[in-house]
Homo-oligomer: A and B are copies of this chain.
């Protein structure tokens, strides 16, 4: 019981970080994987800079966020894949049955719904499209669950991805992540992150305003060639 009590306190400590609407709003915004400034987050959540500052202290101290100070700016981002995962799970647990193509999608705007980042991987129609394409080419097996296939590993290596490095990392190699706008899963985990990184590196995708991303002409060609994926 002593050990149970200790564990409960630890769980409560993390949960209570996300148990405040303002802090939850911060973390949801940070789910896009970018670093935000304290002021941006304050404006987003509708609180004063003073209030935001305090919240950020707690989130950083609690290990959920990492910060970087640059000049007069305080940049803050999710501390890592684990932290992102916690936020993700909590967020998706609260939207069990939002009607498709409504509200979220409309408000999100065409750009966000088309392609965006979700922490360190791809989301939106692009994200689910990539996963579908990987499945179709048998690079992942997702009839029941999700796993990378041998041919998938070969293909990733051909793109220059360090597959063994991903396997050694303390992180699931592949994982499903529920897409807000599409209501279907996209690819997360080490491979999801690596894929997004490769796409950025090759300039197949670029950050647009906010968390949206756009597919470049090179991206259209590349995605068509590598994955048979046609981007509207």
Contact-residue bracket for chain A: 35 or more
Interface contact A7-B91, CB-CB below 8 Å: yes
Closest to A145 in B: B147
Q: Which of B11, B20, B143 contacts A12 (CB 8 A)?
A: B20
Given that A5-B46, A141-B147 are known contacts, is A10 also in contact with B103, CB under 8 Å in the complex? no
Task: Assess the B5–A16 pair: CB atoms within 8 A.
Answer: no
Main secondary structure of the interface of A (DSSP, over half): helix
Q: Is A70 an interface residue (CB 8 A)?
A: no
Q: Which of B11, B83, B85, B107 contacts A24 (CB 8 A)?
A: B11
List 15 interface pairs A-B (beta carbons < 8 Å), by A numbering. A2-B107, A3-B104, A4-B25, A4-B29, A7-B28, A7-B95, A8-B28, A11-B87, A15-B24, A18-B19, A19-B19, A86-B93, A143-B150, A144-B147, A144-B148
Q: Which residues of B sit under 8 angstroms from A144, Cβ to Cβ?
A: 147-148, 152-153, 167, 173-174, 191
Complex CA gap A152/B145 in Å reads: 12
Q: Which residues of B contact A27 (CB under 8 A)?
A: 11
Tell me, yes or no, whether A14 is within 8 Å of chain B by CB: yes
Any chain B CB within 8 A of the CB of A77? no
Contact A93 B103 (CB under 8 A): no
The minimal Cβ–Cβ distance linking A86 to chain B, given in whole angstroms, is: 5
Residues of chain B within 8 A of A191, CB atoms compared: 144
Contact across chains for A16 and B11 when beta carbons are under 8 A apart:
no
New contact pairs (11) apart from A9-B21, A11-B28, A145-B148, CB-CB < 8 Å: A4-B28, A12-B24, A14-B90, A14-B94, A15-B17, A82-B93, A141-B147, A145-B172, A145-B173, A146-B147, A147-B147
Copy number in the complex reads 2
Residue A60, interface by CB 8 Å:
no
**How far does the Cβ of A200 sit from chain B's closest Cβ, in whole Å?**
23
Q: Is the pair B143, A146 in contact by a Cβ cutoff of 8 Å?
A: no
Within 8 A of B (CB), among A1-59: 1-5, 7-25, 27-29, 44-46
Give the CA-CA distance A175 to B146 in the complex, in Å: 9
Residues from chain B with a CB closer than 8 A to the CB of A9 are 21, 24
- Distance between Cα atoms of A140 and B24 in the complex (Å): 37
